[in-house]
Structures are given as C-alpha cells and as structure tokens.
Structure 1
Amino acid sequence: MSEEAWHEARLIPTSGINGAQEQEKRATSALLAVMGAVPEFAKALLGPLGAPGRVPETYIEVPFDLSGKRVIPDGLIRVSRGNKVWTALVEVKTGKSELQADQLDNYLDVARTENFDALVTISNEVPSLPGVHPTAVDKRKLRKVQIHHWSWSYVLSTAIVQKEHRGIADPDQAWILGELIRYLEHDRSGALEFDDMGPNWVSVRDSVAAGTLRANDKIAPEVIARFDALLQYLALRLGRRLGIDVSQVVDRKSTTNPTGHLADRMNELATSGVLRGALRIPNAVGHLVVTADLRANIITSHVEIDAPREGRQTTRVNWLLRQLRDAPDSIRLESFAVRSRTGNADLLAAVREDPKLLAPDASKDLRSFRIAMDSKAGAKRGSGQGSFIDSVVKSVDQFYGDVMQNLKAWTPTAPRLRPEVKGEEDGLRSVSLSSQDGPVGAS
C-alpha cells in the first residue's frame, strides 16, 4: 500500500465520530484536557471570566442531584489559588445543535446550590453583541451565578492567537495546543464557522429590494441580530489572522437604550435598505466600517482618516496618495473640508491623475478623507460561493489587506531649533536680531 494512503496518528483523532452525542463528548474532553495541559491557553480563556491565573482542574460529565433529579453537565472547571476556588459548569453543543433554555436553567440552579461561580456555554451560536448570551434565561437565576458564552469560533481564534502570536513557553505544550487547533479546524469536529444568515434572510432581503419592508416588521430584528453576529465572527476571524484582539464597535445606545437602538436600525433597514457595523482594530487609523446595501446588492468597506493640518490642499491629497500607491484604481476617495457637510469624491485612478479633484477650492482646509471599496453582495443565506456571508468576508479581507494595513495617521513635523547668530568675539552684531528689538519700522 502506498504511504499516501496512510493516516498520521493524532493526539485528538477525528475518526470514529458517530453522531452528535459522540461529537460533543469528544470536543468537550479535548478542549478541557488541553486547558488543563496548556496554562497560557487556559488563562486566555478563563482570565476574562474572573478565574485565578492558575492551571485549572477539568472534568467531564459530572453528575449532580437537583431536587431528586439527576443532572449531568458536560463538564466542570475548577481553579484554585490559596483559599480562593473558582468553579464553573460547562455545557457544550456542536454542529447545528443549539443551547436549550431548560438545560441552562437546571445548571444555573445546580451552580447556585453548590456555590459555584459560573456556567460556561460553548456552541456554534455567535452572539449578536459582546457579552450577550444567545439563549434567554431567567435573569433571577443570575443573581449569584454568572453565565458566559464562547462560540467555537472564539475558542479556535483564541487558540490560534495564543499559539502563533503570543506564544507558548513549553514546546510540548505548544504541540498539544496545535493538535487541538487541527482538530477544531476539521469538518468532523462539529466546530463550525459562521455559515447561516437565518431562516428570515431571504424574506427580508426580498422585501427590502421590493421596498415593502416596514420598520415594525417582526422578522427584521432576527436578520439584524444575524448581521451583528456576522460582525462578531469577522472580528474573530480578522483577529486570528492579525494576532490581536479585534472587536465589534458597540454603539453606546445599544446598552443604554437597546429598544430604541433596535428601532433606529429597523427604520434604517426599511427606509434605506442598509445594514451597517464597524470593527475596532488596535493601532489602525480608524474603524473598519462595513455597510451592506440590500437594495443595490453592494458591500462597502470604508475607513476615515484625518487629513494633515499643514501644507497646501493638494499636498494633503498627495500625502494620502503616497500611502495608496499599491491600492486598486477602483478605490473610491472622498474629501471633507472644515465646516462643510458635503465633500468631493472620485475614483483613485482619476485622483492619481489630478489630485485637485479632491481639493478644488484651495481656500478650504481639508479636514478628513474617506477611503472606500465596493463589491457585489452575495444573495444566499448560507456560506460558500454566491453567499452573502462570503461576500462580506471577502470584502473585509481585501479592504484591510489592500488599503487599511498600509495607512498611517498624520503626525506634525517636529519644531526646528532657531539657529544661533554669533558676532565678533561671540557678541551680537549691531544688525543682528535681538529679543529687545521691536517690530521692523517701529519708532
């Protein structure tokens, strides 16, 4: 038999997975075991939850008695430091399986009875906003127990960033974490990427295109939430590639007045046919804004950057053009002047030929530039060629790679020292400037 047909032995094999239950058990055991074996990975996951920075003890399928009923969470994590013990129950779903509210309520009751600190849920459900749980639970049960959610995309991204960018001190532990990454990236692991815009996607998309969607339509909020989840996924995916923590930009109104914020977005979707959001990328010149125009079937990625505060207006435009020397000609540029609501816009190819297109009035100081890239939006609700999800992912990847990563903010020129003027015998000449001199021509 040719060696090409041989299968390399793996620490966490994907062979032999039969059904969702086996898939969940293997994923739970693999993840918790690696957390116990690789301290840096465990700290990256558990630190944000308030757990002590120590190596955790991990268990699977720990049974509890809840008022005479046998309850078995998928796992348990315990971290000790001195007299402090932090404990969390774990509930896991893989594939298309979703978390069940009644199960979570039972586990919250167990955690409260046992004086545990938290319940951690893991599934392929990506929350619409950071810190928002994808499953509604009785808030009264959260008075003494916290509930946290990790999507499998988040777990995989955390593992990759820790191994490839932040580093693992021990080579053997780095190899173990690499085996978990390889397992989670396999199709049979049940750890899926974001791949569905939801059952109402086609209906809302068609209603927007026809101009019949209303701001109070009951199916619109689900599509808006899915778009926000897509932004969360984009942040994780981009952060995985960059090795940093990319996050979704959250409007303050979404936390202070969520009902009003949702109403504003539903009205925008109904009147303009637009879904929008933004990503915060550390050390980038600005937020990467993603706009989906469902009527025009266009995805736009853009960033705004402050214009220099010195030099002629065309000099400021040329400053931007130098940074876009390798960008596609189809990029759209806009300039905005101080105390002006409107701007000037043209394609990069035309501005390269004539920078004055962005600065037609030399007397108006340019305040900022907007750099944008348009691409065709996919229509399908799932993933793959022709899908909306893949078109957004492609737009963000291309815009960041071709434009944003090459942009730097303007910094003013450092002030120059005034040269000293020396006369004979180091004294001032009679014609030299002195701090005692008044303006030229003063009497």
Structure 2
Amino acid sequence: MRELPKGANTGLAALSEDTGSVVVGLGWSSPSGDGDADVSVLLLDDGGKVRSDADFYFYNRPSAEDGSVQLLGKVPTEDGSEDRISIDLTAVPPEVTRIVIAASRYGESSFGDLNDLRLSLADRSGEALLGFSITDATVETAFIFGELYRRGEEWKFRAVGQGYETGLAGLATDFGIRIAEDDEGQEAEPGAEAGPEATAPAAAPEGVRDGAAAPAGGAPGDATPAQPAGTAPAGSPDAPAAGARARGTRTAKKKVTLPRTAKKSLAENDSWRPARLFPVPSYRSDKEREVRATSVLLSVMAEVPEFGRRLTAGFGAPAGRMQTFTEVSLPHGETPKRPDGVIRVERAGKLWTALVETKTNGNPLKSEQVQNYMDIAARRGYEAVITLSNDVALEGIPLVEVKTDGRRKHKVSLWHLSWAEVAHQAQMLIRHEGVGNAAHVWLLQELLHYLQHDNSGCHGFQNMGPSWVPVRNGIDDETLVPGDPRAVEVVESWERLIRQVCLRLGGELGQKALPVQRAKRGTDPKSRRVELADRLCEEGKLSAEIRIDGTPTVLSLTADLRTGKIRTSVEVPAPDGTYPLSVVKRLIRALETAPADLHVETLVEGRTGPRGTLERLRPEPGDLLPRDGAETAGFRLSLFKGMGNTRGSAESGFIRSIDDAVDRFHGSVVVHLGQFEQRRPARAKTASEPSAPR
C-alpha cells in the first residue's frame, strides 16, 4: 500500500488494474472510546460546485440513485470502527469532475480530540492501494480528507487534509450547498418533499482554518489547488449546542417503509397463521435449508435493487442490472462443482460475477469447498467469492483458510456475510430508510420473517464454541489460569456475539450500533485478545461497551461467570447549572416507567456515591445526594439479570440471556433518558427542507 503525504496525488491506474469501483475508508480513534464523526461526499463540476443539492451525500442521503456513491456506514475494525464509502467510478456522470470525501463533527467536538485520522482506498477486490494520515488536526470541526478527480480519461486521487472550523455547514456552503438558518420553532416552507435538498448541521462559524493546505476549491490538477475563497455564512443564536445532532431520514424522493402499527388481523383467532411467500416447513436435512435459504435471499436481492446493491456494494460490485442463479454447475477437474449461488451484475456491457457458498444452522464453512470456488473464479475471470453463514467474521481471524496463486494476473476477492448482517440490512431498509415501492417492502418483510423463523437455520451466531463449557467450569472451580488458550477462544466468541448484538440493536433503532474498542489504533489484535483472556481468567468476567450512532450513550455490558449475573449499565452526566435536588427529581421523573429493580448510583469524583434501587428512591429522591454536599458528576444506571444455565456448545441460554438483557435495558431505561437531557436549540437546515421533530 502506498502512503501519500499531504498534498500529494497519484493515478489509480498505476496502483491497480481494477479501479472501476473503489472503497474509501475514513477512520479515527479516541482515547475515551467515544469519539465519532460523520462522513460526506460531494460531486463537483468543472466550476468546483455541486450541480444541485442532490450531489451532496451524507447520513440523511446515503446513496445515489445511479449507484455511483453509497455510504456503507460504520463497520467494526480491530481499532474501533471505520466509515466506508463505495464509489463506482464507471457510474459517475461525465459532467462530474471531482469527488470530495469529507467528515465532520457535531456540537463543540473537534478533530483535535481524535487520534489517528486516516483515509484508505481499496480497489474492487478489496486490496488496499493507498493511505493518507492527517497529523495536524486541532480545532477543526470538518475535514476534507481527499478527493478523486479526472485527468483526461484517468481518475486520480489527491491527499487533501484541509480543515474547517465552520463544520459541515461551512464546508457544504463552499461547494454551493444552500444552508438556511430558521428561527427556533419556525417551519420552513412545506412542499419540498419530492425535492433533493440536503441537510447540514451548522456550527459556530470561525472561518476556514488558517494555513490549511491542499484545499479542494481549485481546478483539478496535479499541483496543489488554491485556497477556496468562500466561507460559511455568519452563525445564528440557534446554532446547535454541544452534543446536538440532527438524525432524520431524508431522501431525494418519497420512500416506502413499514407502518408503525400493523393493520388489524382479519383472523378469527390466534391459531390462524397468515400465508407466507417463503414458508418454513420442517426440513429433512441441512442441505435443504441451505438450498432454500440461498434461493430466497438471491431472488429478493435481484428483485429489490436497493437491497441487492446494499449487500454487494462493499464487495466491489458495480451499480447495474443484477441477476442471480442457484445450483449452477461449473467445470472443475474431472468433477463439476456446484456453488450454492451465483450473482451477476451488468453495467455498460461488462459483467461482475460472484460465486456464493452458503451454510445454515450453525454449520461451519469448509476450506476445501471455498478453495475450489476461488480456483474456479480465478480461471473463469470472476471477481469474487462470497461466503454466507451464521458466523460473524472478525478482522485478523479468517473463517476459512485459502491459498491464492500469486502468478495469476486476475485477482479474486473473498468476502463473508453473516445472516445477522443480511437481516440487519433488510430491517434498516423497510423500517427506517425506505425502498422504492410497497411491493419491495413486502418482499423484504417476507425475507425477514423467513430469516427469523426458528426452522430457517439463519438465526445468526448461536454457538459459543467447544471451549465455553471448560472455561466456565474452570472459573467455577478456580482452576483456570492466565495463558489458557481456551480463554482466548471464548473471548473471540464473546466478540462475535457482541457484534451480532450491535447488528440486531441497530436494525431495531435505525442507527449504527458498534462495539467500543478502548485500545490504541494499531494494537495487535492477537495481543489485545490475549490480554482480555487473561483478565477473564483472573476476574471471571466478560465485558463490552456498545455505542449507538448519533447518541452520546455508551451501553456497558458485563457477564460475571462467577456469580452467573449479567449487568447492563449506562452512565448519565448531570446537567450543568441546575440545583442538585432538582437534577435528582428530574432523573426519577424520567425513569417513571423504568423497572423498580433498576439500580441508581450517584457518581462522585474520588469515591463511591449514594445508591439504591428505583423502588426505594422514588419516594425519597434526595437520598441520592451526597451527605457532605460533594458535587454530583452524574449517575450510573444498572440492571442485573441471571444468565442462562445451559452450557452446551450449541445454542445456549447464555446467548439468549445476553440478547434479553440488552433489549430490556435499552427498551425500559435508555429510551427514557432523553427526557433527562438538556433542551437543545434547533439545528440549521437547507433552504427548502421542511422542519420535522427529532
């Protein structure tokens, strides 16, 4: 991989022969684990401006209708998480000459609070081509990381690294996006529902950072362009305060989602079952499950373009006409091989092809099978092999070992999908982001019902592995010692389980939920897991933290294998400038419908504060105040639940109890904490976006 200094540029063709589609990754780390930012992409013409607001892609408009740009969202990495963007350069309109890749922070947060700001760019096969690190961030609230631009018939990349103190609003204004600042409570003109307007949160304008190098305002060329002259408009008193963040779903045209409440059933009684497009009978063999699951999934991918594109964009597939096939016979030595499925995408007369190998019911992938398909794909000029199973892939730990013939000019990429990821993407589309028409919503709903049925075999990760029982027994009888490799295997299984919990929770909420990694970027994954395994041997606990995108909340989860209890908790800071007793009463009111056994602990610097159950504190909120009048920093809210006692290596009561604990805590506690937060001023909107409640 080639490392670029600030201001440098390079042609993509010199790095790879397969750059018709690229994946850009933006990453950063935070010492506290709570740093976050939003990515955005702008398509510019020869004049350095967007053709319209529709050329601006960010969290409210994550994809282009022509498939040229798709924000894939955050994905877990060994260092925390990374935002990834799929850009199909063959689909970019010819009048677009530059593609600006940026990120912004919200509230009073700046990029100086983050470490290891970095951009990476990979080709269609997933091979990393170049990287660019930003090392001089200070008070900037928005950054242009880099840009792709045309030079004749070739696409080139420039490492920009330009910072703004005016946030996303200032950056967007520089490139022709219209930003409107409404008075609080005043609604913009209605009627813009069908328009492609974008929304950009405003920040207190201080002007573009002095001395920022390699800005993207000039004409594309090999030399570093000049500093853009435009600056963000003057701020208003209604600019968002710290922590404020706009998170509505807005798209270029009306999208269809499921209604919030289901229609009343016409059945005479509960024993009547609705007819299903994909029925799930009792299967006689795992092979039947695999064949049916593959056919169901691939048929829906081909019929619902948004869904098919969502699943394949990250694998380097272009945006185009998709067809899918099952049980295709392909020559391989003396015996033809039959992959479970084939995906083909056509664009501009060119074909992108992926072979699919499917496993259900917790069955593991077989290296020999996958190796055969990799060899077939290489000989036939196919681009990818996609494996699909209940397992969740971890970076640094391949699910199957395959060998690649380096002498072959044609590269084949190997990708993995979990059934949990498939269900997550279907949920995001039909419940939150929307698809093109009601028939597509219904198809995705039927797919989701099928995947979640007990008989489908597509439930996701449900196996803690063969080391789970010995480790629990070793903790019970205190014979487990640091350095035991079985503890490392349990830590890996725990990490897979937490990532699946994040997928399920994110699908329900419509936001990305990701595990928090409190480790320095670049830490060896193996060393990190060994350290966590040694801690498990000494303390008998498995711990994790989950951050929900768009919120300041970090949900902590601890499974104490000695006591057999699961603790879910969250820390809530106390609002500034309010009387302590008023703060406590406000918290208790916000938790009016929370479980009576919720534990509430006052956080006081340097020592343990007062604590009690909600049942005891409701009549006497003042019991939470420190007796000596010490300042209250915040509160820790916790629920305890017994973990499953089943110790088999297959589906265990432990996994189910973790899911139940997270669901109960979030649904009965976390969702009510918004009432406890300080009120925030309204955010900025584009000129034609109607106001909507948060």
Bucket of the pairwise TM-score, normalised by the shorter protein: 0.7 to 0.9
Aligned partner (choices 450, 466, 489) of residue 222 of structure 1: 489
1:192 to 1:412, Cα distance in 2 relative to 1, 3 A: closer
In the TM superposition, what are the counterparts of 1:317-396 in structure 2 within 5 Å?
317-337=584-604, 340-347=605-612, 348-352=614-618, 353-362=620-629, 364-381=630-647, 387-396=653-662
1:304 to 1:140, Cα distance in 2 relative to 1, 3 A: farther
- CA contact under 8 A between 2:390 and 2:458: conserved in structure 1? yes
1:47 aligns with 2:318: no
Letter paired with 1:402: S
For residues 334 and 582 of structure 2, the distance between their equivalents in structure 1, rounded to whole angstroms, comes to 78
1:88-116 CA-to-partner distances (Å, cap 9, x unmatched) read: 22111122321011222222233333343
In the TM superposition, what are the counterparts of 1:77-156 in structure 2 within 5 Å?
77-82=343-348, 85-127=351-393, 129=394, 133-138=398-403, 144-156=411-423
For residues 413 and 245 of structure 1, the distance between their equivalents in structure 2, rounded to whole angstroms, comes to 22
1:255 to 1:196, Cα distance in 2 relative to 1, 3 A: farther
Shift of 1:250: 3.6
- CA contact under 8 A between 1:201 and 1:223: conserved in structure 2? yes
Shift of 1:79: 1.9
98-107 vs 145-154, which moves further: 145-154
1:260 to 1:16, Cα distance in 2 relative to 1, 3 A: closer
Aligned partner (choices 217, 234, 251) of residue 501 of structure 2: 234
For residues 651 and 398 of structure 2, the distance between their equivalents in structure 1, rounded to whole angstroms, comes to 30
1:304 aligns with 2:610: no
Q: Describe the SS at the equivalent of 2:571.
A: strand
Shift of 1:331: 1.6
For residues 285 and 319 of structure 1, the distance between their equivalents in structure 2, rounded to whole angstroms, comes to 19
Shift of 1:269: 0.5
Q: Describe the SS at the equivalent of 1:188.
A: coil
For residues 392 and 638 of structure 2, the distance between their equivalents in structure 1, rounded to whole angstroms, comes to 27
1:435 aligned partner: none
Aligned partner (choices 459, 465, 470) of residue 203 of structure 1: 470
For residues 319 and 577 of structure 2, the distance between their equivalents in structure 1, rounded to whole angstroms, comes to 49
1:164-193 CA-to-partner distances (Å, cap 9, x unmatched) read: 332232222333333323332333332234
- CA contact under 8 A between 1:42 and 1:55: conserved in structure 2? no
Q: Describe the SS at the equivalent of 1:290.
A: strand
Q: Describe the SS at the equivalent of 1:211.
A: coil
**RMSD of the TM alignment (CA)?**
3.2
Aligned partner (choices 327, 343, 366) of residue 61 of structure 1: 327
- CA contact under 8 A between 2:462 and 2:651: conserved in structure 1? no
For residues 370 and 7 of structure 1, the distance between their equivalents in structure 2, rounded to whole angstroms, comes to 44
Shift of 1:83: 5.9
Quick check: which one's strand share is greater? 2
1:249 aligned partner: 516
1:287 aligns with 2:557: no
- CA contact under 8 A between 2:603 and 2:633: conserved in structure 1? yes
In the TM superposition, what are the counterparts of 1:138-217 in structure 2 within 5 Å?
138=403, 144-217=411-484
For residues 395 and 155 of structure 1, the distance between their equivalents in structure 2, rounded to whole angstroms, comes to 23
For residues 546 and 413 of structure 2, the distance between their equivalents in structure 1, rounded to whole angstroms, comes to 27
Letter paired with 2:646: K
- CA contact under 8 A between 1:278 and 1:290: conserved in structure 2? yes
- CA contact under 8 A between 2:463 and 2:651: conserved in structure 1? no
1:120-145 CA-to-partner distances (Å, cap 9, x unmatched) read: 11112233x47964334447779933
For residues 383 and 572 of structure 2, the distance between their equivalents in structure 1, rounded to whole angstroms, comes to 44
Shift of 1:146: 2.6
369-378 vs 51-60, which moves further: 51-60
For residues 273 and 553 of structure 2, the distance between their equivalents in structure 1, rounded to whole angstroms, comes to 46
300-309 vs 240-249, which moves further: 240-249
For residues 385 and 330 of structure 1, the distance between their equivalents in structure 2, rounded to whole angstroms, comes to 29
Aligned residues: 408
2:191 aligned partner: none
Shift of 1:9: 5.8
1:6 to 1:277, Cα distance in 2 relative to 1, 3 A: closer
Q: Describe the SS at the equivalent of 2:597.
A: coil
Shift of 1:395: 1.1
1:323 to 1:57, Cα distance in 2 relative to 1, 3 A: same
1:72 aligns with 2:338: yes
1:324-351 CA-to-partner distances (Å, cap 9, x unmatched) read: 22222322222333xx343314123444
Aligned partner (choices 264, 272, 287) of residue 21 of structure 1: 287
1:363-422 CA-to-partner distances (Å, cap 9, x unmatched) read: x433332211111122213599982122212211111011101112744788xxxxxxxx
1:210 to 1:16, Cα distance in 2 relative to 1, 3 A: closer
1:267-306 CA-to-partner distances (Å, cap 9, x unmatched) read: 2101111101122223344121110011111100011222
Aligned partner (choices 405, 420, 426) of residue 671 of structure 2: 405
299-308 vs 175-184, which moves further: 175-184
Q: Compute the TM-score of the two structures, normalised by the length of structure 2.
A: 0.54
Q: Describe the SS at the equivalent of 1:328.
A: coil
For residues 321 and 287 of structure 2, the distance between their equivalents in structure 1, rounded to whole angstroms, comes to 28
For residues 367 and 384 of structure 1, the distance between their equivalents in structure 2, rounded to whole angstroms, comes to 44
| Larger RCO (CA within 8 A; separation ≥ 6) | 2
Q: Describe the SS at the equivalent of 1:148.
A: strand
Shift of 1:73: 1.9
1:168 to 1:200, Cα distance in 2 relative to 1, 3 A: same
2:686 aligned partner: none
Q: Describe the SS at the equivalent of 2:278.
A: coil
Shift of 1:17: 4.3
Quick check: which one's helix share is greater? 1
1:50 to 1:7, Cα distance in 2 relative to 1, 3 A: same
1:366 to 1:42, Cα distance in 2 relative to 1, 3 A: same
- CA contact under 8 A between 2:572 and 2:634: conserved in structure 1? yes
Q: Describe the SS at the equivalent of 1:56.
A: strand
Consecutive unaligned residues in structure 2, runs of 5 or more: 1-267, 682-694
Q: Which has the larger radius of gyration?
A: 1
For residues 390 and 323 of structure 2, the distance between their equivalents in structure 1, rounded to whole angstroms, comes to 25
Q: Compute the TM-score of the two structures, normalised by the length of structure 1.
A: 0.81
Q: Describe the SS at the equivalent of 2:633.
A: strand
